[in-house]
Amino acid sequence: MVPPQKEGGEKKGRFAIIEVVTREHTISIHKHIHGVGFKKCSPWALKEIQKFVMKEMGTADAALTPGSVSVPYGIRVQLSRKHNEIEESPSKYMLVTSVPVTTFKNLQTDTLVKESIHPN
């Protein structure tokens, strides 16, 4: 038996991302790398961070700043969507940097103001 098709038209997709924005997110890496071997958990964590960036900010290109080999349970990252300056292309890329915090309690996603991003 085939379920009836929904009437409602097309699926809603993600709209084109226009603005340049910077946000701070907390990522729980432990739940993504649970059960992965020690030698593979660091590359696996980087892939999971890239997946999170693509889902959250909608850009396929993510540049990660270098980090350590040991993987923490959680990480606070700053995601900056920037214009790709090569040949003035309309595409954008993400710059992912780690933000050191003492505790992860009561942290929420923050959108940083533009004055702190662009001091020009």
**What CATH number does the domain containing 103 carry?**
3.10.440.10
Q: How much is the pLDDT for 87? A: 65
* Nearest by Cα to 22 from 119, 118, 120: 118
Q: How much is the pLDDT for 120? A: 41
Report mean pLDDT in 10-residue bins for the chain, 120 residues.
66 59 87 89 86 81 69 85 73 81 85 55
Q: Which residue has the tokens 């097309």?
A: 10
Residue 37 lies in a domain: yes
Rounded Cα gap, residues 60 and 94, in angstroms: 8
* Nearest by Cα to 18 from 54, 59, 55: 59
User: Which structural domain, as residue segments, surrounds residue 94?
Assistant: 22-117
Q: Beta 62-64 vs 92-98: how paired, if at all?
A: parallel
Residue 12 lies in a domain: no
Residue 58 lies in a domain: yes
Q: How much is the pLDDT for 68? A: 62
Structural domains in the chain (count): 1
Residue 60 lies in a domain: yes
Whole-prediction pTM: 0.66
